[in-house]
Structure 1
Amino acid sequence: MKRRLFSLVMVPLLLFSANAAAAEEKEEDWHDETMYFLMTDRFMNGDRSNDEQTDNNDPSAYQGGDFKGIQDELEYLQELGMTSIVISPVFENEAGAYHGYSITNYSKMNSQFGSGQELAALVASAHEKNIRVIVEFPATRVSTEHVWLDDAQKVDWFTEASIAQEPAWLGEMALLNTANPDVQSALVEAAVKLADETGIDGYFFSGASAAEPRFWTKFNESLPELHLIGEMSGASMQEAAAYEEAGLDAVTSSWLQEPIREQFATVDRSSEEVKELLLEEQNVLSDPLAAVHKADSALADRFTLDMASENMFPGARWRMALTYMYTAPGTPAILYGSEIAQNGESGPDSHGLMNFRTDQELVDYIKQIAVLRQDLPALRRGSYEPLYEEDGMSVFKRQYEDETIVVAINNTGETQNITISAAELDEEKELRGLLNGDMSRAADGSFTIILDREEAEIYALAEKTGVNYAFIAAMLAVWIVFVIFLYLVWKRGKKAAKSS
């Protein structure tokens, strides 16, 4: 809490003194987002009337979460610093499919989560809090009980009527024939209808790379005002660029997920691979700042499980990873429960109920770095330049207009003392820490950064501060008044003693 208060108080002062660009009005585009992926059924139960299939004694059954529950917790998400939420699929599903991927009808809503009107109410409430709502839309595979499979005229709408899926807990599913233009038209129609009726801001197309890039062009043409994100499962960065060109507004950086987890699951791991991938994104992707970076996902083991297997404390590991994701180029995204270090293997075990009453230390830290990300345009839109990389100690520079931010992350097991050439920054300025209040001035042509193990600092390059005489005078005045007050109290007490 002390750190968070320091950031909230000091950031505005430091930015103004550094003539930073934060004073500019935030532009309303998608480069300023921090995303929160949530599984509706596992988040919050706000309406008991739709709990028909709920069984809280069975982790593989519905647990009761719904649209009303999300709506009730919007203030929590706002305070956490989330500007967009991505909610799990909303269409009708086969019995027990709490995750939403086993779609049986694109024309109906999943009654376990609520109605279209309740989703619209959620969207309206979110917009009042400046939170955008994106709906996950599986468009390449559906339930083996999907209504289209019962239509003899739609046989060619599928390439497989039933095939085992990965991860295994998804069971058997049917694969849609995305090369069939009728399939595309039906899916686009469903997407347009839901958007028109609810006012959502975009779609997250899970498994998007399972279809050819051109499959998504019509979605873009029919939904020009919506933000369309494609999940690149196993696709290379070069392949992902083709999906952007075909009409998707952003892609997930699937190539980064495992390297980030590998780097931050423990200490003293090389950070070179992630650095090189981030540099490559700047040259390959059409819009690298919109690329979505995730460490956790609903279809994988929890990142916390990786940390546990390394016998590491999850809180510190998550702080390091999230600091990196919140300050590196791209759009940071976390899966619900990551802020409380939720654990579990892929499937129901990793889809535990959200606990809003757990230890708040990590939650408070996320709030702190979220404030910095929103207050510092360089962290959202700036250029990216690595300054130092060695065995888990990472230092990089983000620059936007007149604002320069330096991020230092010590993901090692011991205190690090490194120097950065003043030629990379400005010898006439100083580095002022916004997380912990650290400060560094150039000496002998270099800045020195000292960081304890498993700690991070975000520095603003600012004009050097001199002696603050006004502040000193104010403090002296306070002490003088306090001393006079004590003297008067003592004198009054002495007088009262004499009179008695």
Structure 2
Amino acid sequence: MKLISKILPLVAAMTLWGCDNNQHAAKDNEEQQYAVAKISTQLPHYLERDIRDEVFYFVMPDRFQNGDTSNDNGSKTLVESQGGFDKTSKGHYHGGDIIGLKDKLPYLQEMGITSIWMTPIMRNQAVQGDSSGYHGYWVLDFSEIDPHLGSNQDLKDLIDAAHKLNMKVFFDIIANHSADVIKFKECHGEDGKQWLGATPGLCDYKTLEQVANGDKYTVFVPEGSENIKTPQWLNDPKYYHNQGDSTWEGESAIYGDFAGLDDIDTDNPEVVAGLIDVFKGVVSEFKPDGFRIDTVKHVNMEFWSEFSPAIVDHAKSLGIPQFFMFGEVYDSTPEFLSTFTTTGKMQSILDFAVQSGIYKSLIEQKGTNELEAIFNGDHFYKDEDSDASQLVTFTGNHDMGRFAYMLDRENPDMSEAEKLARIKLSNALMYFSRGIPVVYYGDEQGFVGDGNDKDSRQDMMPSLVASYNDDDLLGTDATTADDNFDQSHVLYQDLVALANLYVKHDALRHGAQAQVYAQDTPGIYAFTRTTEHAQYLIVANTATTEQKQTFNMSYKGFEPVVLAKDKSEDNGEVTINLAPLSYAIYKAQ
């Protein structure tokens, strides 16, 4: 065990909050049986608001709410964006759409959400193989919304409605690849429908050296698909790498096809200019508040250093001064992650490192020094226009699976009460440590899932997927066969409580973070958040037993409330007794 540093001198009394703090949440009216957190109404105007004030909700529109059943089968005229609807299959469209999402804005606002991040919504190739593009990552047309989700006007209406609630809307975009249209005769045969390679379903990757020596695939576009993509230049195979499937290692991670999707040649200056124009057009047409960028590490760094400033500058020229972009870099090493915000000139990335630290501390039940080690890497992110406080934090997602699933996978005999306590503590660490928290849709309703990818993309509306509906949800007797927008759910209410604390205390959003204490076993993790005018101490207990710890606080006197049993000595020492799997927050007065 070790005390990392002395806490800065604090003045006068301190106030303690515990993790069961729903009493702080406001009620809309006397009849309402649940607390709410409309924190977007208490924050600065969305156009001027600092990104560190946000609480994100990451949602897959197809799996959220069906507001218009007439679009369930997609386009009525474009065959390539038609069909793929099957509510019984976890790999197909289920009918959720933009209108449905707009209808549920009050549900999100009252949970304390300030920003909505949607999976990609541009027009997709509806069907590839035995699955469909419900997730949005098989883009054909970068200029219009996928017809399964609605119309361009529906999207504009959603953004307008969110802005009226002082909430933001973020798009998920892809520059690495487009839909799988291009074929290789050596792999797919003359008709593009066969598998001739050594491994069914894969086209062996050809290295840059092989290509330079003339060992190339014979590239073609199947008849009828020659003009299937928009803008038009994306239909020309010369703008793609065409080197076969990525093995996720070495150069193939950049130049190989991502699961067969057409890998765009972002080394080509014409492509760089073309993609900048594409996404400038998206910003001009819809005026979103920012982008999350997919598969960032599978694109050459030089592209991002040119693309990122160009898009942000364009958005600012249109009157979106706080336009914000963050990238997906699937890696848990701060030194590597930070290269995309420094060299790559991105404003932020998804913080897979913090996700890993929370996972190790609360799921694998390792020491709290796992968190310490991650935050010790924060200095890597510091440059002239960004730092670690702008990183986007999360505990699970649509690729790796839900936090509750990972918890159950590693601890199958754990009680429901302990699982809920660990989930609540993971949320508190995400909200109150530096960074911008993301709630993955359905987590607030106790969704668990059977795995990653498709198994973590359950329906919030009543589901017909058998493998979803046999899940044992946490904190409820409901299943995914039910409508799951219960605002009294224990986890929804926990997020309400966190949001109300988050908005009430500016330092919990903006404060510089300094680590105070960590240990090599489950137990106490403590850190401070400090601004010019305030300082807070956050203490978490990751152990299943009460933990006692003494801190040299360098001040006298405080008032304990709710959870911890505390004693203050005249010499400035503070002894904290913290309940299992709980947290406390102290504020200097």
TM superposition score normalised by structure 1: 0.81
SS at 2:424 equivalent: helix
Mapping 1:36-435, distance limit 5 Å: 36-52=57-73, 53=83, 54-95=85-126, 96-145=132-181, 147=228, 154-160=236-242, 163=245, 171-216=259-304, 217-224=306-313, 225=316, 226-234=323-331, 236-245=333-342, 246-265=344-363, 267=365, 269-285=366-382, 286-309=386-409, 310-311=411-412, 312=414, 313=416, 314-344=419-449, 345-354=451-460, 355-357=484-486, 360-390=489-519, 391-392=521-522, 393-423=524-554, 426-427=555-556, 429-433=557-561
Cα deviation for residue 301 of structure 1 reads: 2.4
Structure-1 separation of matches of 2:273 and 2:579: 56
Report the secondary structure of 2:261's partner residue.
strand
Whether contact under 8 Å (1:409, 1:454) holds in the other structure is: yes
Q: Is the CA contact 1:301–1:346 (under 8 Å) kept in the aligned structure 2?
A: yes
Q: State the alpha-carbon separation in 2 of the partners of residues 141 and 2 from structure 1.
A: 43
Deviation at 1:323, TM superposition (A): 0.6
Contact 2:58–2:438 at 8 Å: present in 1 too? yes
SS at match of 1:136: strand
1:386–1:396 contact (8 Å) kept in structure 2: yes
- Which has the higher mean CA deviation after the structures are superposed, 275-284 or 325-334? 275-284
Query: What is the CA-CA distance between 1:59 and the residue it aligns to?
Result: 1.7
Kindly tell me: are residues 299 and 118 of structure 1, through their superposed partners in 2, closer, same or farther at Cα, counting changes over 3 Å? Answer: same
* Counterpart among 448, 455, 459 of residue 586 in structure 2: 459
Q: Residue by residue, what CA displacement relative to the aligned partner does 1:159-213 show, whole Å, maximum 9, x if unpaired?
A: 13753788xxx85322111111222222222212222221211111111122223
Taking the aligned partners of 1:386 and 1:320, their CA distance within structure 2 comes to 18
Query: Distance between the aligned counterparts of 1:91 and 1:4, measured in 2?
Result: 40
Once the two structures are TM-superposed, the CA of residue 266 in structure 1 deviates from its matched residue by: 5.3
How far does residue 112 in structure 1 lie from its aligned partner after superposition? 0.5
**Higher CA-based Rg:** 1
Distance 1:280 1:453, change over 3 A: same
**Quick one: distance in 2 between partners of 1:157 and 1:88?**
25
Pair 1:7-2:135 in alignment? no
Please tell me the residue identity of whatever aligns with 1:278: F
Between Structure 1 and Structure 2, which shows a larger proportion of strand residues?
1
Aligned-residue offset at 1:379? 1.0
For these two proteins, the number of residue pairs brought into alignment is 441
Deviation at 1:447, TM superposition (A): 1.0
CA distance in 1, matches of 2:234, 2:444: 47
Are the counterparts in 2 of residues 162 and 175 from structure 1 also a CA contact under 8 Å?
no
Q: CA deviation at 1:388?
A: 2.0
Please state which structure has a larger fraction of its residues in helix.
1
Contact 1:231 1:251 in 2 (8 A): yes
Q: Which residue of 2 aligns with 1:14?
A: none
Given that residues 161 and 173 in structure 1 are in contact (C-alpha distance below 8 angstroms), is that contact kept between their aligned partners in structure 2? no
Aligned CA distance change for structure 1 residues 162 and 151 (closer, same or farther; 3 Å): farther
Q: Any conservation in 1 of the 2:19–2:584 contact (CA below 8 Å)?
A: no
Describe the superposition over 1:217-263 as per-residue Cα deviations: whole angstroms up to 9, x where unpaired.
23422432321111112374334333223432111222232232122
Superposed CA deviations along residues 396-426 of structure 1, whole A, max 9, x for unmatched, are 1111122121111111010112111132xx2
What amino acid is the match of 1:430? F
Structure 2 counterpart of 1:403, one-letter code = A
Alpha-carbon offset, residue 283 of structure 1: 4.7
3-state SS, counterpart of residue 134 of structure 1: strand
Which amino acid counterpart does residue 208 of structure 1 have in structure 2? Answer: V
CA RMSD in angstroms comes to: 2.8
Deviation at 1:352, TM superposition (A): 0.4
SS in 1 for 2:144: strand
Q: Which residue of 2 aligns with 1:13?
A: none
Question: What percent identity do the matched residue pairs reach?
Answer: 24
Shift of 1:306: 1.7
Q: Structure 2 vs 1, CA of residues 172 and 398 (structure 1 numbering), >3 Å: closer, same or farther?
A: same
Q: Is the 1:266–1:317 Cα contact (8 Å) retained in structure 2?
A: no
The aligned amino acid for 1:105 is D
Contact 1:36–1:335, Cα closer than 8 Å, also in 2? yes
3-state DSSP class of the match of 2:263?
strand
Change (3 A) 1:348 1:242: closer
Q: Which consecutive unaligned segments of at least 5 residues does structure 2 have?
A: 1-17, 27-41, 74-82, 127-131, 183-227, 249-257, 317-322, 461-483
**Match for 1:323: what amino acid?**
A
The question of whether the paired residues in 2 share the 8 Å contact of 1:178 and 1:215 is answered with: yes
Q: Do structure 1's residue 442 and structure 2's residue 531 form an aligned pair?
A: no
Whether contact under 8 Å (1:4, 1:364) holds in the other structure is no
Distance 1:364 1:449, change over 3 A: same
Residue deviations 1:311-370, cap 9 Å, x none? 333311210111111111111112111222322212222100022138701110111011
SS in structure 2 opposite 1:188? Answer: helix
